[in-house]
């Protein structure tokens, strides 16, 4: 397949998660919804189940307002809204991690609001790096395994997990390669987003095959024009209108620190005898994310360093409205960017936002400055 | 040679007709913004004021929220760049511009050449914008232009939330019920706008000289509150509301010169 066909295939998957779900169900497979930001997808996959990402959708919220106040993350609200409306019908369970306060409330509300899809909690430790933290994570995984077995009838085996860990590591490598290739390739912000978004709705082995082929095509294809390069950071960057503003203003995404995108693929599962411990060790090794506790806030330097390495002249902070972990990090990010001579913009994003005219004005001003 | 800058905002349309890149031949302000016939009216008025004809204009740059919709423009630029350029033309020593318009607030950091080096815009929220003043004036059954005079009489400004227009609205109603004097209430409202914009200014970094532009800058109550909040003198021009259009007309002049240079 050529570049355009591959991108079209990924766009199709990114734009139609329900169709993807129906396809897997029609093949006789069972699917499990996985909520943001990190869940043990390797476990789900190893049990022969299809992990399907649920990150909400750009939509008006009505039903979920019975459970949520107005001032809370709209990603959570729209996940619940879609659950109540029956849009996830067909999945056997949903795994919701405990990585922020909003996610904790999502799990609790889910139990009452969406009774036909069992809620499986994944409780992570705050201190994930010490051995006791790793043991805590493993205990969380064991609970997930028990609940998955009960909800789906599937069985867990360490041998299968070892293979799934390998498949996910392979996917990580291909996605990391894509991010680097896309930084220099002639690809739009929307196409780049499709590649990351589609990963949430395809089996990793299928996605790896398509993206690997795409990487080769992009390497052979034309280079991107212009040097208005930025690093984008935030939880989510998939709004078509927002991405269009990048493209219209000739602002290229040279690298990202987006939870929905590159943050997923930075850390591999180490090769240990016990694959479950290896998976817990992977979580303990993960860093540079607002949702993962780090008293030293190494993420700040990481962002500046990534921006420098990729020749970015600015850092665009896509601030999910009412996301306190991201808001806490914003001030040191801005200070670090100022000190490094990087322009930083704070663009507010929200699942209920359709009009990105203000973001467009900011990006146009950035273009004019550069 | 005439060049035109047209700034089509959410609440008003403004034009500046510039002669030879130096002299302001005419200006107009119409209280009707994007999506109305305000831009056309503003254009007609500025031509009448300058005694010029549409065909005399060599280049038009549109700016403001309606910039992409205006059919008569040769180009468009963001209002941030245009305000920076307009303010630098009037006040070359200004390094910080606080621009508060009908629906948003912006703070721009300029270098000595007037080039914008950094900026910040408000969140998608009416608090700290002209719309906030409009809503508050509506509750008090006052014209927005009367707020300034009333605020001057205050000795003890009331405390009004700068977080949210809806919260502030209920606070104003509570203060009215509690019998707070009107001047103190109005001064509190002006202070609320200043506090919000000052926080934005601190995010960019306040370097003197500081100037306010945009429609809200016309309100001395807000300017005085801003001076107190930031502890610096705020420069102001009668052309505050026209700075974006002025900057656009200057960029239009550059475009003509660039075109002439490329032909030579």
Q: B232 lies in which domain range?
A: 92-236
Whether B25 and B136 share a structural domain:
no
Q: What is the ipTM of this complex?
A: 0.81
Domains observed in chain A: 24-157 (3.40.50.11890)
Confidence of residue A204 (pLDDT cuts 50, 70, 90): very high
Whether B140 and B119 share a structural domain:
yes
Whether B85 and B207 share a structural domain:
no
Whether B76 and B196 share a structural domain:
no
DSSP A228-297: -EEEEEES----HHHHHHHHHTT-EEEEEEETTTGGGGS-PPP--SSHHHHHHHHHHH--S-TTS--TT-
What would the pLDDT profile of B50-85 be if each residue is shown by its tens digit? 888 888 899 999 999 899 988 889 999 999 999 999
Task: Determine phi and psi for B110, rounding to 5 degrees.
Answer: -110, 150
Site from B117, B124, B166, B247 to mutate, A interface, most A CB atoms within 10 angstroms = B124
Whether B217 and B134 share a structural domain:
yes
Strand runs (DSSP E) across A72-118, as ranges? Answer: 91-97
DSSP A112-163: HH-TTS-EEEE---SS-SSHHHHHHHHHHHHHHHHHHHHHH-----HHHHHH
Share of chain A above pLDDT 90, in %: 94
CA B261 to chain centre: 33
Confidence of residue B139 (pLDDT cuts 50, 70, 90): confident
CA B115 to chain centre: 18
Helical axes A189-198 vs A204-220, angle rounded to 10°: 150
CATH number (domain holding residue B71) = 3.30.420.40
Question: What is the pLDDT at residue B105?
Answer: 87
Write out the two tokens for A109. 């509300």
**pLDDT tops 70 at residue A175:** yes
Total domains present in chain B: 2
Strand order through the sheet with B105-110:
B116-121, B105-110, B96-100, B210-213, B234-235
Whether B123 and B173 share a structural domain:
yes
What would the pLDDT profile of A251-286 be if each residue is shown by its tens digit? 999 999 999 999 999 999 999 999 999 999 999 999
Question: What is the pLDDT at residue A221?
Answer: 92
Report how far residue A286's alpha carbon sits from residue A263's, in angstroms, rounded to the nearest whole number: 9
Whether B114 and B151 share a structural domain:
yes
What would the pLDDT profile of B172-226 be if each residue is shown by its tens digit? 888 888 888 889 888 888 888 888 889 889 988 899 999 999 888 888 888 888 9
Report how far residue A44's alpha carbon sits from residue A279's, in angstroms, rounded to the nearest whole number: 12
Chain A hits for B63, CB-CB cut-off 8 Å, are: none
Whether B110 and B221 share a structural domain:
yes
Helical axes A74-84 vs A101-113, angle rounded to 10°: 10
Write out the two tokens for A229. 């390069």
- Name the helix (H) or strand (E) containing B3: strand B2-8
Sign of CA dihedral B100, B101, B105, B110: negative
Contact B129, B100 (CB under 8 A): yes
Whether B100 and B128 share a structural domain:
yes
Whether B102 and B208 share a structural domain:
yes
Chain A hits for B65, CB-CB cut-off 8 Å, are: 357, 361
Chain B hits for A365, CB-CB cut-off 8 Å, are: 78, 80-81, 116, 119
What would the pLDDT profile of A22-65 be if each residue is shown by its tens digit? 999 999 999 999 999 999 999 999 999 999 999 999 999 999 99
Query: Which residues of chain A from 214 to 253 reach within 8 Å of chain B, CB to CB?
Result: none
Whether B69 and B179 share a structural domain:
no
Q: How many alpha carbons fall within 13 Å on the CB side of residue A301? A: 5
Asked if the Cβ–Cβ distance from A368 to B124 is below 8 Å, we say no
Tell whether A98 lies on the interface with B, counting CB pairs under 8 A: no
Asked if the Cβ–Cβ distance from B119 to A365 is below 8 Å, we say yes
Contact B52, B44 (CB under 8 A): no
Write out the two tokens for B108. 């721009």
**pLDDT tops 80 at residue B144:** no
What would the pLDDT profile of A100-147 be if each residue is shown by its tens digit? 999 999 999 999 999 999 999 999 999 999 999 999 999 999 999 999
Dihedral angle at the C-alpha atoms of B218, B223, B226, B231, nearest 10 degrees? 140
**pLDDT tops 70 at residue B2:** yes
Q: Which residue has the higher pLDDT, A1 or A54?
A: A54
Whether B71 and B115 share a structural domain:
no
What would the pLDDT profile of B83-108 be if each residue is shown by its tens digit? 999 999 999 999 999 998 878 889 99
Average pLDDT, chain B: 88
Chain A hits for B101, CB-CB cut-off 8 Å, are: none
Confidence of residue A336 (pLDDT cuts 50, 70, 90): very high
């Amino acid at each position: 397949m050529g570049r355009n066909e591959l991108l079209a295939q990924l766009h199709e998957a990114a734009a139609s998660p329900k169709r993807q779900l129906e396809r897997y169900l029609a093949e006789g497979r069972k699917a499990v919804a996985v909520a943001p930001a990190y869940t043990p997808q390797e476990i789900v996959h190893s049990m022969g189940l299809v992990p399907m990402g649920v990150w909400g959708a750009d939509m008006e919220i009505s039903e979920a307002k019975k459970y949520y106040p107005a001032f809370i993350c709209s990603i959570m609200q729209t996940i619940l809204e879609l659950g109540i409306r029956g849009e996830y019908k067909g999945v056997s369970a949903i795994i919701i991690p405990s990585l922020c306060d909003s996610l904790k409330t999502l799990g609790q509300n889910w139990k009452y609001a969406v009774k036909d899809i069992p809620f499986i909690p994944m409780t992570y430790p705050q201190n994930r790096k010490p051995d006791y933290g790793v043991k805590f994570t493993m205990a969380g995984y064991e609970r997930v395994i028990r609940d998955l077995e009960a909800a789906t009838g599937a069985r867990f085996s360490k041998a299968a997990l070892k293979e799934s860990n390998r498949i996910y590591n392979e996917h990580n490598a291909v996605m990391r390669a894509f991010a680097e290739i896309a930084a220099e390739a002639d690809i739009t912000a929307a196409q780049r987003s499709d590649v990351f978004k589609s990963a949430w709705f395809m089996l990793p082995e299928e996605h790896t095959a398509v993206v690997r082929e795409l990487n080769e095509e992009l390497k052979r294809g034309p280079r991107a024009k212009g040097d208005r390069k930025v690093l984008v950071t935030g939880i989510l960057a998939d709004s078509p209108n927002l991405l269009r503003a990048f493209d219209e203003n000739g602002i290229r995404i040279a690298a990202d620190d987006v939870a929905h995108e590159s943050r997923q693929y930075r850390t591999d599962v180490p090769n240990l005898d016990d694959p479950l411990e290896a998976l817990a060790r992977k979580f303990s090794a993960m860093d540079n994310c607002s949702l993962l506790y780090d008293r030293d806030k190494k993420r700040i330097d990481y962002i500046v360093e990534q921006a420098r390495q990729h020749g970015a002249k600015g850092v665009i902070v896509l601030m999910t409205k009412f996301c306190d972990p991201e808001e806490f990090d914003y001030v040191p990010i801005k200070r670090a960017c100022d000190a490094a001579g990087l322009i930083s913009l704070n663009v507010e994003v929200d699942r209920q936002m359709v009009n990105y005219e203000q973001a467009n004005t900011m990006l146009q001003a950035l273009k004019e400055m550069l | 040679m005439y060049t035109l800058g047209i700034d089509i905002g959410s609440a008003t349309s403004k034009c500046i007709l510039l002669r030879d890149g130096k002299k302001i031949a005419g200006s107009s302000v119409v209280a009707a913004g994007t999506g109305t016939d305000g831009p056309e009216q503003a254009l007609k008025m500025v031509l009448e004021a300058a005694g010029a004809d549409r065909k005399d204009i060599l280049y038009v740059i549109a700016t403001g929220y309606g910039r992409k919709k205006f059919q008569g423009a040769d180009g468009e630029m963001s209002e941030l760049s245009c305000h920076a350029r307009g303010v630098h033309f009037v006040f070359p020593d200004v390094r910080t511009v606080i621009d508060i318009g009908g629906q948003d607030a912006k703070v721009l950091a300029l270098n000595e050449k007037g080039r914008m080096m950094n900026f910040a815009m408000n969140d998608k929220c009416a608090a700290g914008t002209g719309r906030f003043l409009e809503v508050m004036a509506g509750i008090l059954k006052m014209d927005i232009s009367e707020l300034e005079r009333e605020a001057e009489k205050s000795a003890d400004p009331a405390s009004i939330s700068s977080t949210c227009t809806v919260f502030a609205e209920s606070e104003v109603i509570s203060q009215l019920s509690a019998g707070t004097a009107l001047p103190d209430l109005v001064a509190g409202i002006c202070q609320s706008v200043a506090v919000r914009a000052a926080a934005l200014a601190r995010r960019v970094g306040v370097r003197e000289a500081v100037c306010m532009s945009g429609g809200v800058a016309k309100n001395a109550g807000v300017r005085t509150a801003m001076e107190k909040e930031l502890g610096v003198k705020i420069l102001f021009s009668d052309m505050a509301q026209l700075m974006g259009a002025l900057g656009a007309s200057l960029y239009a002049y550059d475009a003509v010169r660039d075109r002439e240079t490329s032909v030579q």
